[in-house]
Amino acid sequence: MRKRIIIRTTLVAVLILIGIFLYTIGQEHKVIIDNKDIIVNGNTYNASTVYKIWVDNQEIGVIEKNGRAVTKVTGVSHKIVIEAISDQALSGEKHERIFKFKSNEGAVINIPAMVNALNEWIDKTN
Amino acid sequence: MMKKQSSSKKMNPGVYFLINYSVPIIFTILVAFAIPLSKLSANYFVTEIMIRLSRNSFLILALLIPVMAGMGMNFGIVLGAMAGEIGLIFITDWQIVGMPGFLLAILISTPLAIIFGYFAGIVLNRAKGREMVTGFMVSFFMNGIYQLIVLYGMGNIIPILNPSILLPRGYGIRNAISLIGIRQVLDKLIPLKIGGILIPVATFLVITTLCVFIAWFRKTKLGQNMRTVGQDNEVARISGINVERTRILSIVISTVLACYGQIIFLQNIGTMNTYNSHEQVGVFAIAALLVGGASVAKANIPHVFIGVILFHTMFVVSPRAGKELMGQAQLGEYFRVFVSYGVIAFSLALYAWRKRVEKENERKKIMGYRKSILVK
């Protein structure tokens, strides 16, 4: 009887853990990518050029100056790569960042802040 | 010398076959007549049947275990369908997508399906001999509870974080929810295209696994207990089988399988009608099983697939056949609905008639035997 209770309790605990795991890896998060001017500590960082965006190795598209792109990602950890476009060709100037989500979070990523390696390059939203 | 009395006429095997399989035979004739009339292309027809086989088979397989336990056709699978839908509402609210969303919906809805199945089993135990109509009524009752929870409880007592699935008033789930996040996630898991027809390999593998499980289950102790209970409750009780517990278990298993079947069904469709998706589940699944040649007392795996093919072929061809024949597609649809309900009524009447004839023959056999002893 006692053994049966222990086995059943363990099974329920394992199922709950599996549920939490599925919840974490399966949740979709909204990511907004802005190529807009940003003011940080009184300094203005301008959106200077057009960028091509990849998130988790998936091409999102090209964002013009003062433009915005929206994408949805699934799971906890993600990678964003941006590459400047000059004279209608990729310049080779790449910037890469890893970002992570908690439950029910979204993010707004600012490209000029990212290019200038500012801490404010990502703003998490609920 | 003892005179042997012939107590019952032996039926012609051909007539016996025709009576036993009257429903699939009638359906085959109807379908054979309707298919050329509908003028549908072979490619379209095969694609539709493939989709419907993958979508519906799991639900209908869920009906086999209560039949084995002598509980007839389980109209209470609607309860399992509701449990599945509650799981899908939660994963849509939490925005869990893809295969994790599909599996999480199954995980959430399983305990609900067990509770609903247990409740249905207790009620059906108090209505021995009238399980089918009781199951029908239980499903209506639970539909009311489901609507109370989903239409008033969710957003009020049960927090719903995603405002896009709530009604404008701020509580209650919308009539239709998009399941775009898990749409065809199981069907497209192992994609295979043959001659332009997409075959949902993963779904068929899941269905095959269930068929193997049912075949294996019949040979287990619990399965044998259910078969014994299905044949005769009193003999089972004397043999030491807990009849009530076995019956409840059969309904619980059926409800849980129906829950998974409904999730598989809805992931294929990609949209959930919150208050309607589960309504016709019981009737259509049972109609399909009966069309396949099953009866209230006997249902096997081949009946499921034959039934899905024949019954759902009617779904596909009736509107077009009705349009070609009578100029109105809606008439074909009415005909299909009439046939769906009619086949259940006909099968039940046929079963009742056969049971009565068998009882009469048994009685005559016993009377003839007693007379022969007296003569001796």
Q: Where are the domains of chain A?
A: 29-125
Tokens 């299905």 correspond to B230
B-chain residues near A104 (CB < 8 A): 161
Weakest mean pLDDT among A84-88, A122-126, B64-68, B146-150: A84-88
Closest by alpha carbon to B365, among B10, B1, B19? Answer: B10
Please give, rounded to a whole number of angstroms, the shortest distance from the CA of B95 to a CA of chain A. 6
A-chain residues near B99 (CB < 8 A): 26
Q: Give the closest of B91, B98, B108 to A74, CB-based.
A: B98
Closest by alpha carbon to B183, among B270, B309, B294, B263? Answer: B270
Note the pLDDT of residue B8.
47
Partner B contacted by A17 (CB < 8 A): no
The answer to whether residue B279 sits within a structural domain is yes
Partner B contacted by A10 (CB < 8 A): no
Partner B contacted by A23 (CB < 8 A): yes
Tokens 């993963």 correspond to B202
Question: So what's the ipTM on this one?
Answer: 0.88
The answer to whether residue B8 sits within a structural domain is no
pLDDT of residue B5 exceeding 50:
no
B-chain residues near A76 (CB < 8 A): none
- E strand or H helix at A17: helix A2-26
Note the pLDDT of residue B297.
85
Partner A contacted by B104 (CB < 8 A): yes
Query: B349 lies in which domain range?
Result: 13-375
Note the pLDDT of residue A98.
94
Contact B101 A26 (CB under 8 A): yes
Structure tokens at B248: 């409840």
CA dist., res. B243 & res. B225, Å (int)? 8
Mean pLDDT of chain B: 88
Note the pLDDT of residue B9.
53
B-chain residues near A15 (CB < 8 A): 107
CA nearest to B105 within chain A: A19
The answer to whether residue B99 sits within a structural domain is yes
Structural domains counted in chain B: 1
**pLDDT confidence of B3, banded at 50, 70, 90?**
very low
pLDDT of residue B232 exceeding 70:
yes
Over range B18-35, report the average pLDDT.
84
The answer to whether residue B7 sits within a structural domain is no
The answer to whether residue B223 sits within a structural domain is yes
Query: In this predicted model, what pLDDT tens digit does every residue of A66-83 receive, in sequence order?
Result: 899 999 999 999 999 999
Note the pLDDT of residue A90.
79
3-class secondary structure for chain B? CCCCCCCCCCCCHHHHHHHHCHHHHHHHHHHHHHHHHHCCCHHHHHHHHHHHHHHHHHHHHCCHHHHHCCCCCCCCHHHHHHHHHHHHHHHHHCCECHHHHHHHHHHHHHHHHHHHHHHHHHHHHCCCCCHHHHHHHHHHHHHHHHHHHHHHHECCCECCCCHHHECCCCCCECCEEECHHHCCCCCCCCEEEECCEEEEHHHHHHHHHHHHHHHHHCCCHHHHHHHHHHHCHHHHHHCCCCHHHHHHHHHHHHHHHHHHHHHHHHHHHCEEECCCCCCCHHHHHHHHHHHCCCCCCCCCHHHHHHHHHHHHHHHHHHHHHHHHHHCCHHHHHHHHHHHHHHHHHHHHHHHHHHHHHHHHHHHHHHHHHHHHHHHC
B-chain residues near A19 (CB < 8 A): 104, 107-108
pLDDT of residue B236 exceeding 50:
yes
Tokens 């009887």 correspond to A1
Contact B104 A15 (CB under 8 A): no
**pLDDT confidence of B320, banded at 50, 70, 90?**
confident
Contact A22 B94 (CB under 8 A): no
The answer to whether residue B124 sits within a structural domain is yes
pLDDT of residue B2 exceeding 50:
no
Determine what percent of chain B is predicted with pLDDT higher than 70: 94
The answer to whether residue B327 sits within a structural domain is yes
* Top-tier CATH class for A29-125: mainly beta
Provide the 3-class DSSP secondary structure of residue A119.
helix
Q: Give the closest of A18, A74, A104 to B97, CB-based.
A: A74
User: Which range has highest mean pLDDT (B198-202, B312-316, B355-359)?
Assistant: B198-202
Query: In this predicted model, what pLDDT tens digit does every residue of B191-227 receive, in sequence order?
Result: 888 887 888 999 999 999 999 999 999 999 999 999 9
Query: In this predicted model, what pLDDT tens digit does every residue of A14-57 receive, in sequence order?
Result: 999 999 999 999 999 999 999 999 888 888 888 888 999 999 99
User: Which range has highest mean pLDDT (A93-97, B225-229, B329-333)?
Assistant: B225-229
The answer to whether residue B324 sits within a structural domain is yes
Tokens 């032996």 correspond to B10
Partner A contacted by B181 (CB < 8 A): yes
